[in-house]
């Protein structure tokens, strides 16, 4: 008996896909949430692209880069093996990881700015600032120079630097603060 004397109705069972049924995702993608299906089914499914596009939208991947993300996801599926069984959660988690990796690569390896887009005076000023920055970096201790190269030139995160150098994250934070502190230019007092 349920509350107030009523009889509780049993919930209907979720339909499972028979082992030999093909095209299950083409028929009902919503029902596939509960089932782990073979990778070959996911590769031909339009639901895979919809899911990848949704995750790309959540991570704000530019629309022109979404096909590359879908291809990365399909490669990950293919590497899992065509007869392996995966569910929606695995697909979504893999797509999320691929989107984050994709964005990190875009930050780490930005496309170069075409020549001539900067006004000449700002290009010369920027070149002078870069020259001054390199001169200040050259005066840093070797450990801070290595950190500067990893963090600011190659674009590694604090977690990646800590794994690469075998130190804790707190040490990486200290290195970053120390590097910024030593590179900070002290203001020059105005001349009277």
- What's the whole-number average pLDDT of the chain? 78
User: Does 86 reside within a domain?
Assistant: yes
User: Does 192 reside within a domain?
Assistant: no
Can you read off the two tokens belonging to residue 36?
């782990």
Query: What range does the domain containing 41 cover?
Result: 24-108
Please give the tally of structural domains in the chain: 2
Reply yes or no on whether the pLDDT at 185 is more than 90.
Answer: no
User: Does 12 reside within a domain?
Assistant: no
Closest CA to 79 of 43, 53, 26: 43
User: Does 82 reside within a domain?
Assistant: yes
- Are 19 and 12 contacting, i.e. CB atoms less than 8 angstroms apart? no
Same domain, 95 and 126: no
Q: How far apart are CA 153 and CA 22, in angstroms?
A: 50
- Domain boundary pick from 55, 74, 108: 108
Q: What is the pLDDT of residue 143?
A: 92
Least confident range from 61-75, 104-118, 127-141: namely: 104-118
Average pLDDT value for residue range 127-151: 88
Q: What is the pLDDT of residue 91?
A: 92
User: Does 9 reside within a domain?
Assistant: no
User: Does 190 reside within a domain?
Assistant: no
pLDDT tens-digit map of 54-77: 999 999 988 888 999 999 999 999
Which phi and psi (to 5°) does residue 37 adopt? -110, 160
């Amino acid at each position: 008996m349920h509350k107030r004397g009523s009889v509780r109705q049993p919930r209907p069972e979720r339909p499972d896909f028979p082992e030999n049924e093909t095209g299950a995702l083409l028929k009902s993608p919503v029902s596939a949430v509960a089932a782990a299906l073979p990778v070959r089914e996911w590769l031909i499914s339009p639901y895979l692209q919809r899911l990848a596009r949704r995750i790309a939208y959540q991570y704000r991947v530019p629309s022109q880069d979404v096909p590359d993300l879908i291809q990365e996801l399909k490669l990950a599926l293919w590497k899992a093996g065509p007869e392996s069984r995966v569910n929606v959660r695995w697909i979504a988690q893999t797509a999320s990881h691929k989107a984050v990796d994709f964005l990190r690569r875009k930050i780490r390896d930005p496309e170069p700015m075409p020549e001539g887009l900067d006004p000449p005076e700002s290009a010369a000023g920027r070149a002078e600032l870069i020259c001054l920055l390199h001169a200040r970096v050259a005066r840093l201790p070797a450990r801070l120079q290595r950190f500067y190269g990893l963090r600011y030139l190659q674009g590694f995160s604090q977690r990646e630097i800590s794994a690469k150098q075998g130190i804790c994250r707190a040490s990486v934070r200290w290195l970053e603060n120390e590097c910024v502190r030593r590179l900070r230019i002290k203001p020059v007092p105005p001349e009277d």
